[in-house]
Amino acid sequence: MKSVLVTGANGQLGQSIQKIASSYPELDFVFASSNELDITDVTSIEKKLSIKAFSYCINCAAYTNVENAEKEPEKAFKVNSEGVKNLATICKEEQTVLIHISTDYVFDGEKGSPYLVTDATNPINVYGASKLEGEQHIQSLMRAYFIIRTSWLYSEFGKNFYKTILQKAREGADLSVTDDQVGCPTHAGNLAKYVLNLIAGESMHYGIHHFTDEKSLSWYGFAEEILRENNLFGKVRLEKAKNYRTFARRPKYSVLKK
């Protein structure tokens, strides 16, 4: 039986993995929240990895607030870069395969067609830059790793765009959503299955992978889909935001080629 450590287990992906873990009886899971395992603390990682000989570590721990990252870059880099470096270093020592979740935001969004795993990276915000540094630490330190870039995660867990739109619509609020960014909304449950199938199938296709759901949409288009799915389309006002601005720059087109 393969032992699998999941860091950041209380986040969207971590909870999605917990939800389907029983479907993989051949895997022995240990779930650790960020409070139970702080990847910025080497001692914390060493203590958790000493519990047993883990075959895999799925790193779901991350600083994910894109807007706040611009205001507190040191925190974003501490988790997404240095924390990942710590984890990669110890996983290598323990001969544990690291599966790390990364992002479409390592790209600048100027290509205009879906990004391949071989395309040049060029992040345009602090979050993307910190995630790219994390990727680079893994690549420089390890051979047996999977870096899985994904995008626009949503689920029934935590805070996400889907839940926010649905809540506001149910409250009867007017919705104003930008249509100047295009990506692939991805259900965290589908990503969880992809990750666990890599493990169950004993894949050795190490390196960078892209995984998203199939449909590319703008945020406005995604909001439309959410309303339709929940029989709310036409019942609340949905308009395209004019002069939409965010503190962090975001890629205009960040669709990933699977």
Cα atoms found within 13 Å of the Cα of residue 26, Cβ hemisphere only: 6
**Which amino acids are annotated catalytic?**
127
Dist. CA 40–CA 61, nearest whole Å: 10
Dist. CA 222–CA 180, nearest whole Å: 12
Segment (H or E) for 62: none
For tokens 């630490």, name the residue. 137
CA 228 to the chain's CA centroid: 25
Q: Other C-beta atoms within 10 Å of 45: how many?
A: 24
